[in-house]
Structure 1
Amino acid sequence: MEHIALYRAWRPQSFKDIVGQQHIIQTLQNAIREQRVSHAYLFSGPRGTGKTTAAKVLAKAVNCERSEGAEPCNECPSCLRITAGNVMDVQEIDAASNRGVEEIRDLRDKVKYAPTEVRRKVYIIDEVHMLTTEAFNALLKTLEEPPPHVMFILATTEPHKLPATIISRCQRFDFRRVSLEEQTAHLAAVCEKENITADQDALQYIARLSDGGMRDAMSILDQISSFTDGNVTYAQVLNMTGGIASEQFARLARAILEGEMGQLLELVEQLMHEGKSADKCLENLLFYFRDLLMIKMVPGADQLTDRVLNPAEFKDMAAAFTRDRLFNIVDTLNRYLGEMKYATHPQTLFEVALMKLCSLQPDQAAQPSLAQQSAAPQGSAPAAAGELEHLKKQIAALEKKLEQAMAAGALAGGGRENTPAQKPAVQSSAPRMSSAAKLPPQVDKFIAAKDSGDFAAIYKQWSLVLQGVKEEKVTVHAWFVDGEPVSVLDDAVLVAFKNTIHRDTTEKPANRQVIEQVLAARLGKPYRLVTMLLRDWNEAALKPAAQTGTEELRLEHEHESAEAKQEPWIDEAIQLFGEDLVVIKD
């Protein structure tokens, strides 16, 4: 005998056989038992959850010749012929291929004729959301007041696309996704009847892959049982479906946690050799970290995980990550997954995404706060020593920042020590500080380090820094792209800007914080951002080192012409847009 697909062979023929829709089945059975069947029904829900099956069972139940209750007998001629699809009065119409107004007008004309083979005409319109607007309008009046011998059953996966006038004329039933337990139990029953040996974890994984659709689960089981000669194991399910064992995800997560990029790339190469696709690997890894987040935040999350079959085994892995870092990982993977569909080389993008996760700095939640440190017990000598060392480093960093701030304040205040009797060298209605006032502290050391190896390495990676700033906040990138790196000194990167407004906007605390986070992520260690104007850098670089940064600050005017002295807005324009963009014409 020719083989029939499992989902067809095991399609429910009565209400009691439909899996996971008890709230709908009970309502329909009560309506049939009390003879309160409506003239129009709307069945909506995800694919493979039993909408068309329930419609056919309902068509048999209202036309069954022997039924005394709410179930079709499946033995009378009417039931047998409806099951075989040989009754002209029970029609299943595919709205995707019969979506025009002419087909609906033809249906509307045939509705008025009485049934010839059964008691009641039943029209099952599948994927009804595909009908055109004109077809819906042609169906409206007939759907609202059909002849007493006609019943309409509309089925759709996208009810939001139906006009409200159609929905209001039907009794609506929303089919839900079949639960994991119900699917697993039904698959086990099918395997027992079909003489298929299947492991429990294999059936559970098939149920998870089906995403709540019973038809999908039956199709996967049929495919795998054919490949394995009726012996279904968890490993075979993974091989057939292209899935990845949760243990492999655990190795990826461990490498991300420890920052082992080399091991990560080896694992990716191994997955590619096994025939896995990069986009599916990235998607499954996203689900895995989502499961870790569920395990960490939700007690008893056994039924909430998608790729982890035994959450208890992965509690240690979930505990190793902080909650904030898991949120950042999920957010990063989701962003790269959106870009994957447009990628020419998906494997490369997958590798970049994993390296991005490795380069993420440990979040602040992983470090104990000062209050927690002060409240720590006194009995642990190694812990107290570590906390003391941490506090010393914080104090040293604060002292260093204070020295830099004092040096900058002394440099900026040098030009303001004029007594009331002293006058600036040149009087002007809009005086400006000379370029020397804009030089950062230790500019001579920056000039000496402009050709260092550290600067050369950072300059090569500057395009990655700009891309990272763009990914984090595109508005900051629009200002920051005007600057270019000119030197590196210890933990500071000096960036020179062509225009003052771009530099000033970049120096805002919020924008600076974004840039410094990207510098730390892309360059491998924390860096401070130091800025100046490009013309000031060029002037300072040409001066002898002994004179750099020690020039006396004074008020001066950049335009000595009479017109410039009489029109202070010229200075304001130069201050806002820079000398390169301002042209003065008589």
Structure 2
Amino acid sequence: MEHIALYRAWRPQSFQDMVGQQHIIRTLQNAIREQRLSHAYLFSGPRGTGKTTTAKVLAKAVNCEKGPAAEPCNECEACRRITAGAVMDVLEIDAASNRGVEEIRDLREKVKYAPTEVRQKVYIIDEVHMLTTEAFNALLKTLEEPPPHVMFILATTEPHRLPATVISRCQRFDFRRVSIEEQSGRLKMICEQEGITAEDEAIQYICRLSEGGMRDALSILDQIASFTDGQVSYEQVLSLTGGIPSKQFSQLAQTLLDGDVGSMMQMIEDLMQEGKSADKCMENLMYYFRDLLMIKTVPQADKLTERVLDPEDYREMAHAFSRPQLFRIIETLNHYQTEMKYSQQPQMLFEVALLKLCSIPQQEHTSADRPAASAAGVDSGEITQLKRQVTELEKKLEKALQGGLTASGGGGTQASGQGGSSRSSKGGAPRVSRAAKIPSGLEKYVAQKDSSDTSMIQSKWHQVLQAVKDEKVTIHAWFMNGEPVSVLEDSILVAFKNDIHRETTEKPMNKGVIEQVFERLLGQPYRLVTMMLKDWNEAIQGGTVAAEKPFELEHEEEQGGGGKEPWVDEALQMFGEDLVVIKE
């Protein structure tokens, strides 16, 4: 006797045989009992969850010779012929092959004729989202007001592609993924009836691979049972589906923790020799670390894991990683998985991804041993960058205070460089005005403007700008206004044509991103130093630039009673002292 695929042989023929869609079955049965059936239904949901099967069972239920009945008898002539697909009044249309307006117009012409073999005409349109816009428009009026002897059942996996005008004319039912428990029970019953011996772990793994689709689960079971002569084991399921045993996952994760590159590369080579594909290994590994994250984060996460059969076996490994580590690992794997789709060497990308992952556990200690800042998810590189910026700010503050003491003459009676008596503000303290920032030791930068280091940086500047753009396009928009003019030891001096662009680039967050790009692209850490291009041109032409005065101290004129002009007070109140410069 010819073999029939399991998913066809065990397709439900009545509502009671349906698995996992009780909310839909109950609604339809009540509608049949109370004679409240709609003229149009929309069944949407993932593949293999029973949309078309439910449509056929509903067609039998409304046309059963003993009904309409909540359950078709499957014994009368109408039920048996509908099951065999031999009734012309119950028509199943594949919208992917009949998607044009002409096919829908032909359907619309035939709808008006009364059924000849059964009680009610039923049109099942599968994959209805494939219809063209013109075809939908041709169907609209008929779908809204069909003859009383016609029922439409639309089935789709992508309901978002249907026009809202079509959805509003149907009663919509959303089919959900079948749970692992329901799938396992159904597969065990089928195995008993078919004489197949299957391990519980194998059945559970098959259910997880099917991603909630009953048809996919039966197809996998059918394939494995054919290969193993009806003896289905967990190892055989892994071998035939390209899966990786959980033990190998644990070993691979342990090599990442230990930073053991040699063992990790050997494991990759063994996987490739076993016939595993690099993209499948990447997908399985990403699922594994996702499951570790779920186990670490969510109590009783066994229902949320995709590949872990026994979460207790994974808790120790989940404890060895911190949550920030797991986030970084999943993000890295996802990035390289996307790149794999366009690569001719997927194995190389898989190896590079794992090599990069080896450095993550070493950069970030586990949550039990890390300081509070790291435990909160702060990257160690960001901490180093912040420390360096704080040091720079302390130096600038010290210089500003020294300049302020010199300008005040020790007692605040003589303003240096002003040539007049002291003019103090309301608080009695000198005011620091916003002046052009000139880096200290400017003559050293001028001497290095034609050095080999400067030439090297200038030759790579286009790459630097592109890397900054890849990191954050808004920073690139400001930073591209500057050009590198000199390199002094670990500092790159960039001259800007516009002061707004320079000030925005100098913001700590933007500056930090740029300096990280320097270190990654140029191979060593560089500090970003900025100034205005016009000041730089004056310096290299021998002009006088106040290189040692990053800030200027100015004092207000006493006006009559010692106050300032009213518009000065208003400007200070609106913009703040840092942005207002008062010139005599």
Match of 1:110 in 2: 110
Contact persistence 1:359–1:521 (CA under 8 A): no
Match of 1:513 in 2: 512
Counterparts of 1:169-248 in structure 2, within 5 Å, are 169-248=169-248
Match of 2:81 in 1: 81
Match of 1:155 in 2: 155
Contact persistence 1:433–1:554 (CA under 8 A): no
Question: Cα distance 1:553–1:146, how it changes in 2: closer, same or farther (>3 A)?
Answer: closer
For 1:496 and 1:17, locate their aligned partners in 2 and report how far apart those are by CA, in whole Å: 76
User: Residue deviations 1:102-124, cap 9 Å, x none?
Assistant: 21121111112221111111111
Match of 1:38 in 2: 38
Match of 1:529 in 2: 527
User: Residue deviations 1:478-506, cap 9 Å, x none?
Assistant: 777877899897xxx43354657787655
Matched, 1:294 2:297: no
For 1:261 and 1:462, locate their aligned partners in 2 and report how far apart those are by CA, in whole Å: 34
For 2:53 and 2:39, locate their aligned partners in 1 and report how far apart those are by CA, in whole Å: 18
Amino acid paired to 2:176: R
For 2:515 and 2:359, locate their aligned partners in 1 and report how far apart those are by CA, in whole Å: 14
SS state at 1:437 partner: coil
Contact persistence 1:302–1:311 (CA under 8 A): yes
> Once the 2 structures are TM-superposed, how far is the Cα of residue 260 of structure 1 from its aligned partner?
3.1
SS state at 1:153 partner: strand
Match of 1:368 in 2: 371
For 1:435 and 1:23, locate their aligned partners in 2 and report how far apart those are by CA, in whole Å: 73
Match of 1:65 in 2: 65
Question: Cα distance 1:281–1:414, how it changes in 2: closer, same or farther (>3 A)?
Answer: farther
TM, length-normalised to structure 1: 0.73
Counterparts of 1:396-545 in structure 2, within 5 Å, are 437-439=440-442, 472-476=471-475, 493-497=490-494, 499=496, 506-515=505-514, 529=527, 531=529
For 1:443 and 1:263, locate their aligned partners in 2 and report how far apart those are by CA, in whole Å: 49
Match of 1:269 in 2: 269
Question: Cα distance 1:51–1:436, how it changes in 2: closer, same or farther (>3 A)?
Answer: closer
SS state at 2:116 partner: coil
Amino acid paired to 1:121: K
User: Residue deviations 1:99-154, cap 9 Å, x none?
Assistant: 12221121111112221111111111111111122222222222222222221111
User: Residue deviations 1:299-347, cap 9 Å, x none?
Assistant: 0000101122211111122122222222222223223322322223222
Contact persistence 1:122–1:153 (CA under 8 A): yes
Contact persistence 1:94–1:126 (CA under 8 A): yes
For 1:371 and 1:466, locate their aligned partners in 2 and report how far apart those are by CA, in whole Å: 30
Match of 1:136 in 2: 136
Question: Cα distance 1:118–1:258, how it changes in 2: closer, same or farther (>3 A)?
Answer: same
> Once the 2 structures are TM-superposed, how far is the Cα of residue 298 of structure 1 from its aligned partner?
0.7
Q: Taking every aligned residue pair, what percent have the same amino acid on both sides?
A: 62
Contact persistence 1:30–1:70 (CA under 8 A): yes
Question: Cα distance 1:413–1:172, how it changes in 2: closer, same or farther (>3 A)?
Answer: same
> Once the 2 structures are TM-superposed, how far is the Cα of residue 258 of structure 1 from its aligned partner?
3.1
User: Residue deviations 1:151-199, cap 9 Å, x none?
Assistant: 1111111112222222222221111111111111111111111111111
> Once the 2 structures are TM-superposed, how far is the Cα of residue 93 of structure 1 from its aligned partner?
0.7
Matched, 1:145 2:145: yes
For 1:202 and 1:209, locate their aligned partners in 2 and report how far apart those are by CA, in whole Å: 11
For 2:289 and 2:169, locate their aligned partners in 1 and report how far apart those are by CA, in whole Å: 45
Contact persistence 1:286–1:333 (CA under 8 A): yes
SS state at 1:306 partner: coil
Match of 2:323 in 1: 323
For 1:162 and 1:29, locate their aligned partners in 2 and report how far apart those are by CA, in whole Å: 26
SS state at 2:73 partner: coil
User: Residue deviations 1:382-437, cap 9 Å, x none?
Assistant: xxxxxxxxxxx9xx99998799668977999999899867699xxxxxxx989772
Amino acid paired to 2:61: A
Contact persistence 1:57–1:72 (CA under 8 A): yes
Amino acid paired to 1:64: C
For 1:262 and 1:178, locate their aligned partners in 2 and report how far apart those are by CA, in whole Å: 42
User: Residue deviations 1:516-537, cap 9 Å, x none?
Assistant: 5567889999x57354789999
Question: Cα distance 1:145–1:319, how it changes in 2: closer, same or farther (>3 A)?
Answer: same
Pairs aligned (count) = 509
Question: Cα distance 1:499–1:412, how it changes in 2: closer, same or farther (>3 A)?
Answer: farther
Contact persistence 1:96–1:128 (CA under 8 A): yes
Greater mean deviation of Cα atoms: 229-238 or 244-253: 244-253
Amino acid paired to 2:527: L
User: Residue deviations 1:194-223, cap 9 Å, x none?
Assistant: 111111111111111111111111111111
For 1:534 and 1:263, locate their aligned partners in 2 and report how far apart those are by CA, in whole Å: 53
> Once the 2 structures are TM-superposed, how far is the Cα of residue 21 of structure 1 from its aligned partner?
0.4
For 1:64 and 1:170, locate their aligned partners in 2 and report how far apart those are by CA, in whole Å: 23
Contact persistence 1:438–1:532 (CA under 8 A): no
Amino acid paired to 1:302: D
> Once the 2 structures are TM-superposed, how far is the Cα of residue 54 of structure 1 from its aligned partner?
0.5
> Once the 2 structures are TM-superposed, how far is the Cα of residue 510 of structure 1 from its aligned partner?
0.6
For 2:238 and 2:71, locate their aligned partners in 1 and report how far apart those are by CA, in whole Å: 39
Question: Cα distance 1:364–1:179, how it changes in 2: closer, same or farther (>3 A)?
Answer: closer
Contact persistence 1:129–1:162 (CA under 8 A): yes
For 1:414 and 1:433, locate their aligned partners in 2 and report how far apart those are by CA, in whole Å: 21
Question: Cα distance 1:336–1:438, how it changes in 2: closer, same or farther (>3 A)?
Answer: farther
Question: Cα distance 1:438–1:219, how it changes in 2: closer, same or farther (>3 A)?
Answer: farther
Question: Cα distance 1:470–1:414, how it changes in 2: closer, same or farther (>3 A)?
Answer: farther
TM, length-normalised to structure 2: 0.74
Question: Cα distance 1:475–1:333, how it changes in 2: closer, same or farther (>3 A)?
Answer: farther
